[in-house]
Amino acid sequence: SPDDLGNARVLVPAAELQVGDYVLVPTGGEEAPVPWLPLPMPQAGYEKQARTITFTECDELYRLLGYFAAEGHTAGRNGSWHNAVLSFGAHEEHTWVADAVCCCEAAFGFTPSVKVGCPHPTSTQVHMRSTIVAQFMRRWISGLQPVRELASALMQAPVRGQREILRGWLRGDGGVSLGSRNRFKLTGTTTSPMLARQMFTLALRAGLRPSYKTRTSKGSRAVHDVYFASEDAALLGWTVPARKFCSTRRIVQGHILLRVRAVSAVPYE
């Protein structure tokens, strides 16, 4: 029974794990308020703009952070950041682009500009022209690929908000595929190992059953995938083929039961 499995667990060094063993990966975790305030100060020459910026902690704010983790960068010069930009595919103008605009309106109280076919015909960009918002995004989503990562405080944010971060990231850096036997898979891909591990952790905290793998892309660059079967994809809002969900991953006393398929050594600092 699940209780028997949970009660039989023991702690062992990683070096003692063998193929065929089972491990219990914890889900959930403690939550703590995110210290959003104070907002960044407006930079010189943008003082008037500060009076037009409001701030609301809401689902849309968290989802906007997810979009930025996948598709965002800040623009400026000489260390002065005045624009937070999201770059989507041209075919996403009426879906994720429209939603990102709504997210900015709900979180910061203004409507960003949308540039279709910018910087090339296959893309559409959302420009949030605000020094405050640009610095805010840099504070909570640092670096560019392959060193992009969420600020540590977001890892203990309310699970509801973390689910929205995950949803936004998957919309930006994710895709769906149908495998053998019509198996539906939702996959988020990044070259940042830290961001991939963080998204995997957010999924665990949300009670989902993610999988993780590292593969080599063209050019010998390491690529990290976080992927979900159809049941979790449906919970995240994706429309999946009508079929009976039959996940092989069991939840045992708040832990996901996983079988060790392979063991490899990785240098660790």
Rounded to 5 degrees, φ, ψ at 165 are -60, -50
Put residue 237 in one of left, alpha, beta given phi > 0 → left and psi -120 to 50 → alpha.
left
What angle in degrees, to the nearest 10, is found between the helix axes of 159-173 and 59-71?
Answer: 30
Is the pLDDT assigned to residue 25 strictly greater than 70? yes
> Which sign, positive or negative, has the C-alpha torsion 72, 75, 78, 81?
negative
- pTM equals 0.88
Question: What is the model's pLDDT at position 46?
Answer: 58
Give CA torsion, residues 231, 208, 187, 219, to 10 deg: -150
pLDDT digits (tens, 9 = 90+) for 183-237: 788 999 999 999 999 999 999 999 898 988 999 877 778 999 999 988 899 999 9
Q: Are strands 222-229 and 184-190 parallel, antiparallel or unpaired?
A: antiparallel
